[in-house]
């Protein structure tokens, strides 16, 4: 098992526009680190740098005991699974699997043994003589995985390996990849767009934006204590409802609603004291009808605009007078479009046209006007 | 600029190494000769004489005042303007006609391709026979139809066009082969998509899918047809010697006559320089046009 | 278009294109006296030899040098085709996959030379080849054409179509530069390589002016040029012989094309992605 360390790696394709700002990252031996971030933030570029397919401008990359910064890709002992799988179209599945072994000049008999072992492991036995063009998406994916594991690399890099699969298959293959990684114990860097994928797979999650790390940590921790509005908006089925608020005397005021600071956890209280303008984030799935809550001081009232049914839960969109007037600024901080509608995710079937919702004070996320979390910083040291 | 990392330098080294033979040959076979030509064009050098003197722009002045030069420029331009659209259009038409015809496809392909590989000299004689004013097949057919006979290659009015017809015959097959390769690379689903989008007739399909997708192929075909058209030479050299009345006098033939028959290297060089300047202009126009096309894709 | 109409159109057009060659083929089986006999009025014998015979071919084979010259053309075809394809492959690979100083300039220069017909700069090329001491030699004939901007363009274009991920996968799988080229790229640009090869092979059959100037010894001459010298305006020409020799010259190119033509449309590379 090998630990991966990136030390202030920088990269720009064109002079003047850095794709990766000085970037640091540590993946512990055997860890599965998931990189998430919006399109164009440099995820693929980062993987290519680690693999040696792109040349870095500056910085250092260590894998296990080795400094691989200037090692050729083929000597890095890194395997990569590409989004489009990059199977050799002119080779059969068998030859695709054997390809890395042939490059290592292994004996023919050993190659046959390994290929059949991997084929069995990934249920590819029946497909060995087909060409990639004769495979389904899921099968291609398995071949790509097979080609990655067959030569027992020190590190796996996966670049959105499931994005070409349908939803059901994605869930299934996701589980398989997780199991495989656990069983092999090989360190893995996994890139995805999909926050569910990210949360279910990751030992640790790295949230990126514009070539910079926003937050690193276990998914649950980032979910509970996001470091900023961007990270908060990234995890969760729907982004939190962001509202503008003010600290007046000893209360947080959001529109008509208000909440005494005394109800908040201690660290939060001290951090909030002395500020004026703030933003709060209320996760849609944390909202409860006020009648269900015993002690609750923060109440949102609103009119339902529409409902979306998703399986056994529904998203209730409503408008409230507390709704933020800062949609544009918040959208910029969150890196995605936020409307001034609020959302409540609930498993109740029937809901009235008027809603009255509350939230536990300790579930409220607080941010300053730059979008940085107040009080609880979830980031661990790099 | 960031300093190049060791890896980038290594990549650059390998890239240069791979490109080296091409660069070397490019310099040796294109850049040097072109520069040498430009140099010679300013001299009165004649092959076989020792003396070589600076002549300034005398050669160009002589060219400018030589009606035969203007005629050969006009002839070459006319020839190219007929042959390029003709053979590209026919080549595309033939490729579309043959396309998707299962078992006869190889046969058609070979049929169209034969003129390319036919040794032109022999074919020139065949064409001479065919276009002969008295016994030629074409005139036999005209006579059978009750039309007056035409001295295709002997009449200054028709000689250049007859030559262009031969050129089209010679070049079409090759263009067709290139177009066929281009056609086969168009993904089938695009035609399905265009059908969904309301393409009904074959013409609609051509306009919406085939033609745009063939863009790069067409660009390539036009370029190489043009190169092959402007260097038209054999008919003039073998059949007509530029006659009648200079109607088939084309640039390459003039260059050849000046350089290798009159050994007038300086004058020939000036001719070449003018020729290259004209092709350069066409090339620029083409590149702009083709570049735009690619950008619009 | 109606199917029968299409079919007719196809047939007629194809017939028009082969007709001159078929006429040459027919004429090669004629007797010289036969050549003009039926030319005066249209009849079947205007097209076909009345008394076909292979005399002309016999005479062609007794020409002292024709076989050598034919061999020269074919050999040059193979050398040119292979040489240009290899040099184009290297340059195309470099231009498509490597970043080095001057790459852009090289590509532009290449595009520009695409428009220069080599024949036009033959006089100065003649001096280059002469100063290299290669006049009247096989390699002197070959040299000016061994670099082909068309080939480079064609192959670079084809390599651009091969997804870069394929190279990347290969180099992570342990392939070096050459192995990437050989095992990941080459198999996926087979169509372009064969097109390039075939194109430059048959281009040799079009050569006339260059061998005429750069090759003055008869046994090094190319068949098509030698055949032209059989036509003598001052004496009566043995036309049947000319046609027979021409048909013999076409034959190798025809065979090679017939064998390779099916590869010309082999479909493009896909990654096995969607
Ligand atoms: N070869 C290249 N040349 C120039 N710019 C590039 C190149 N590759 C990527 N970029 C730029 O670098 C930035 C980061 O690209 P990258 O592919 O790493 O994004 P990504 O996070 O993987 O996005 P996605 O989620 O869409 O795959 C983008 O702005 C992109 O335009
Ligand atoms: Mg990416």
Based on the fold, state whether residues C239 and C206 are members of the same structural domain. Answer: yes
- Is the model's pLDDT at C266 over the cut of 70? no
**Same domain, yes or no: C94 and C187:** yes
Q: What is the pLDDT of residue B279?
A: 76
pLDDT at position C269 over 70: no
Same structural domain, C36 and C127: no
Mutation pick for ligand 1 pocket among A19, A84, A159 (CB with most ligand atoms within 8 Å)? A19
Helices A108-121, A137-149: crossing angle, 10 deg rounding: 130
Taking alpha carbons only, the member of A76, A21, A86, A81 closest to residue A50 is A76
Element (H, E) at A26: strand A17-27
Chain C partners of A100 at a C-beta cutoff of 8 Å?
A: 173-174
**Considering CB atoms only, which of C40, C118, C231 is closest to B125?**
C231
Kindly state whether residue C61 falls inside one of the protein's structural domains: no
Percentage of chain C beyond pLDDT 70 is: 88
Residue C139 has pLDDT above 70, yes or no: yes
Give residue C5's pLDDT: 79
Domain count, chain C: 2
pLDDT of C158 over the 60 cut? yes
How many domains are there within chain B?
1
Q: Which two tokens stand for residue A62?
A: 């260590």
Q: Is residue B100 situated within a structural domain? A: yes
Average pLDDT, rounded, for chain C: 81
Q: Is B78 on the interface with C (CB under 8 A)?
A: no
Query: What pLDDT is recorded for position A349?
Result: 67
CATH number at residue B252: 1.10.3720.10
Ligand lying closest to the C-alpha of residue A12: 1
In a domain, residue B112? The reply is yes
| Residue B285 located in a structural domain | yes
Q: Which helix (H) or strand (E) holds A128?
A: none
Domain locations in chain A as residue ranges:
4-232, 233-367
Q: What is the 3-state secondary structure (H, E, C) of chain B?
A: CCCCCHHHHHHHHHHHHHHHHHHHHHHHHHHHHHHHHHHHCCECCCCCCCCCCECCCHHHHHHHCCHHHHHHHHHHHHHHHHHHHHHHHHHHHHHHHHCCCCCCHHHHHHHHHHHHHCCHHHHHHHHHHHCCCCCCHHHHHHHHCCCCCCCCCCCCCCHHHHHHHHHHHHHHHHHHHHHHHHHHCCCHHHHHHHHHCCCCCHHHHHHHHHHHHCHHHHHHHHHHHHHHHHCCCHHHHHHHCCCCCCCCCCHHHHHHHHHHHCCCHHHHHHHHHHHHHHHHHHHHHHHHHHHHHHHHC
C12 and C107 in one domain? no
- CATH at residue C132: 1.10.3720.10
The CATH code of domain A4-232 reads 3.40.50.300
Our answer on whether the CB atom of A192 is closer than 6 Å to any ligand 1 atom is: no
Tell me how many degrees the CA angle A288-A289-A291 measures, rounded to the nearest 5: 125
Distance from Cα A193 to the centre of ligand 1, integer Å:
14
Verify that C36 and C126 share a domain, yes or no: no
Q: Which of A62-66, B44-48, C246-250, C256-260 has the lowest mean pLDDT?
A: B44-48
Q: Do C164 and C129 reside in the same domain of the chain?
A: yes
The reported pLDDT for the residue numbered C37 is 65
Is C202 found in the same domain as C168? yes
What are the angstrom distances between the C-alpha of B242 and each of A66, B237, B253, C226? 75, 7, 8, 22
pLDDT at C264: 67
**Cβ of residue A39 lying under 6 Å from some atom of ligand 1:** yes
Q: What is the mean pLDDT of residues B104-121?
A: 75
- Mean pLDDT in chain B? 78
> Percentage of chain B with pLDDT > 70?
88
pLDDT of residue B2: 43
- Interatomic CA distance for residues C17 and C9, integer angstroms: 12
Q: How high is the pLDDT of residue C39? A: 60
User: Is C50 in CB contact (< 8 Å) with chain B?
Assistant: no
Interface test with C, best of A50, A79, A82 (most C CBs within 10 A): A82
**Is A233-367 in CATH node 2.40.50.100?**
yes
| Chain B residues lying within 8 Å of A58, measured CB to CB | 2, 5
For residues C168 and C250, state if they share a domain.
yes
ipTM over 0.90: no
pLDDT for C43 beyond 70: no
* Burial letters A347-367, b for 16+ CB under 10 A, else e: eeeeeeeebebbbebebbbbb
pLDDT score of A95: 92
**Domain residue limits at B145:** 59-296
Note the pLDDT of residue C273.
Answer: 30
Q: Which atom of ligand 1 is nearest to the CA of A208?
A: 21
CA distance C261 to C194: 9
Chain B residue closest to C147 (CA)?
A: B25
Ligand minimally distant from the alpha carbon of residue A82: 2
Residue B68 in any domain: the answer is: yes
Q: Subunits with at least 3 CB pairs below 8 A relative to chain B?
A: A, C
pLDDT digits (tens, 9 = 90+) for B128-175: 777 877 777 787 777 778 777 777 777 777 788 888 888 898 888 888
Q: How far is the C-alpha of A325 from the C-alpha of A13, rounded, in Å?
A: 38
Which residue bears the tokens 């087979």?
Answer: C190
Q: Which of A17, A35, A44, A193 has the most ligand 1 atoms within 8 A of CB, as the residue to mutate?
A: A44
Give the global pTM: 0.80
pLDDT digits (tens, 9 = 90+) for A317-358: 888 877 666 788 888 888 888 888 888 888 876 667 888 888
- What is the mean predicted confidence (pLDDT) over B164-189? 80
The distance in angstroms from the start CA to the end CA of chain A is: 19
Task: Note down the domain range covering C24.
Answer: 1-53
- CA of A160, closest atom in ligand 1: 27
Residue with tokens 């040029």: C225
């Amino acid at each position: 098992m090998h630990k991966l360390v990136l030390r202030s790696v920088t990269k720009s394709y064109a002079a003047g526009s850095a794709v990766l700002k000085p970037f640091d990252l540590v993946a512990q031996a055997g860890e599965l680190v998931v990189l998430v971030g919006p399109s164009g933030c440099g995820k693929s570029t980062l993987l290519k740098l680690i693999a040696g397919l792109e040349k870095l401008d500056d910085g250092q990359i260590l894998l296990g005991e080795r400094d691989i910064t200037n090692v050729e890709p083929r000597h890095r002992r890194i395997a990569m699974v590409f989004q489009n799988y990059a199977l050799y179209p002119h080779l059969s599945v068998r030859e695709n699997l054997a390809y890395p072994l042939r490059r290592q000049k292994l004996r023919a008999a050993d190659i046959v043994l390994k290929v059949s072992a991997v084929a069995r492991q990934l249920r590819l036995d029946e497909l060995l003589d087909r060409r990639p063009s004769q495979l389904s998406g899921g099968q291609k994916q398995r071949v790509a995985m097979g080609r990655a594991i067959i030569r027992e690399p020190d590190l796996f890099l996966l670049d959105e390996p499931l994005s070409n699969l349908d939803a059901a298959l994605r869930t299934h293959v996701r589980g398989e990849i997780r199991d495989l990684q656990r069983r092999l114990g090989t360190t893995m860097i996994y890139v995805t767009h999909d926050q569910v994928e990210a949360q279910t797979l990751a030992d640790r999650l790295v949230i990126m934006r514009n070539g910079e790390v926003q937050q690193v940590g276990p998914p649950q921790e980032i979910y509970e204590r996001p470091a900023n509005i961007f990270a908060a908006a990234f995890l969760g089925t729907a982004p939190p409802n962001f509202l503008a608020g003010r600290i007046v005397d000893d209360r947080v005021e959001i529109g008509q609603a208000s909440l005494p600071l005394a109800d908040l956890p201690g660290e939060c209280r001290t951090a909030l004291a002395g500020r004026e303008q703030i933003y709060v984030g209320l996760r849609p799935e944390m909202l409860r009808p006020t009648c269900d809550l015993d002690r609750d001081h923060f109440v949102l009232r609103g009119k339902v605009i529409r409902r979306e049914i998703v399986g056994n839960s529904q998203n209730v969109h409503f408008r409230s007078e507390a709704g933020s007037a800062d949609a544009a600024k918040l959208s910029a901080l969150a890196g995605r479009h936020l409307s001034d509608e609020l959302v409540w995710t609930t498993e109740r079937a029937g809901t009235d046209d008027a809603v009255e919702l509350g939230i536990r004070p300790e579930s409220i996320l607080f941010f300053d006007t730059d979008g940085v979390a107040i009080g609880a910083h979830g980031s661990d040291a790099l | 600029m960031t300093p190049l990392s060791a890896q980038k330098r290594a990549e650059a080294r390998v890239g240069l190494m791979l490109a080296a033979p091409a660069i070397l040959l490019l310099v040796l076979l294109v850049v040097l000769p072109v520069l040498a030509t430009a140099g010679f064009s300013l001299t009165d050098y004649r092959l076989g004489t020792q003396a070589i003197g600076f002549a300034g722009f005398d050669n160009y002045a002589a060219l400018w005042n030589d009606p035969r030069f203007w005629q050969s420029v006009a002839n070459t331009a006319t020839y190219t303007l007929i042959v390029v659209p003709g053979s590209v259009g026919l080549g595309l038409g033939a490729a579309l006609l043959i396309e998707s015809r299962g078992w006869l496809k190889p046969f058609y392909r070979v049929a169209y391709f034969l003129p390319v590989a036919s040794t032109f000299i022999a074919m020139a004689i065949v064409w001479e026979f065919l276009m002969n004013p008295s016994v030629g097949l074409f005139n036999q057919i005209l006579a059978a139809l009750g039309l007056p006979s035409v001295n295709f290659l002997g009449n200054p009015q028709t000689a250049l066009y007859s030559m262009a017809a031969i050129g089209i015959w010679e070049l079409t097959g090759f263009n067709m082969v290139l177009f066929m390769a281009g056609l086969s690379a168009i993904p089938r689903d695009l035609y399905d998509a265009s059908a969904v989008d309301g393409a009904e007739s074959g013409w609609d399909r051509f306009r919406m899918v085939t033609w745009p997708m063939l863009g790069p192929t067409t660009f390539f075909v036009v370029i190489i047809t043009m190169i092959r058209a402007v260097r038209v030479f054999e008919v003039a050299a073998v059949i007509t010697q530029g006659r009648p009345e200079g109607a088939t006098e084309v640039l390459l033939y003039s260059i050849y006559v000046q350089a290798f028959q009159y050994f007038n290297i300086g004058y020939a060089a000036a001719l070449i320089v003018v020729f290259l300047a004209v092709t350069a202009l066409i090339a620029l126009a083409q590149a702009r046009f083709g570049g735009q096309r690619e950008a619009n894709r | 278009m109606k199917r029968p109409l299409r079919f007719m159109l196809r047939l007629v057009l194809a017939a028009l294109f082969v007709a001159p060659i078929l006429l040459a083929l027919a004429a090669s089986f004629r007797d010289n006296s036969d050549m003009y006999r039926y030319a005066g009025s249209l009849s079947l014998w205007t097209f076909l030899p009345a008394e076909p015979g292979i005399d002309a071919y016999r005479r062609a084979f007794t020409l002292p040098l024709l076989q050598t010259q034919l061999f020269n053309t074919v050999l040059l075809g193979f050398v040119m085709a292979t040489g240009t394809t290899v040099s184009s492959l290297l340059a195309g690979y470099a231009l498509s996959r490597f970043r080095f100083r001057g790459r852009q300039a090289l590509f532009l220069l290449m595009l520009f030379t695409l428009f220069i017909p080599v024949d036009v700069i033959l006089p100065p090329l003649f001096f280059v080849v002469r100063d290299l001491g290669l006049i009247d030699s096989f390699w002197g004939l070959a040299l000016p054409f061994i670099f082909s901007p068309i080939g480079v363009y064609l192959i670079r274009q084809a390599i651009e179509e091969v997804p870069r991920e394929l190279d990347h996968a290969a180099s992570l799988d342990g392939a070096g530069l050459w192995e990437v080229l050989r095992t990941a790229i080459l198999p996926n640009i087979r169509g372009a390589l064969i097109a390039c090869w075939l194109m430059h092979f048959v281009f040799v059959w079009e050569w006339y002016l260059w061998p005429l100037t750069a090759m003055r010894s008869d046994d090094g001459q190319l068949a098509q040029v030698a055949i032209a010298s059989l036509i003598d305006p001052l004496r009566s020409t043995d036309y049947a012989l000319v046609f027979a020799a021409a048909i013999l010259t076409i034959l190798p190119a025809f065979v090679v094309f017939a064998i390779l033509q099916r590869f010309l449309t082999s479909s493009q590379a896909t990654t096995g992605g969607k």
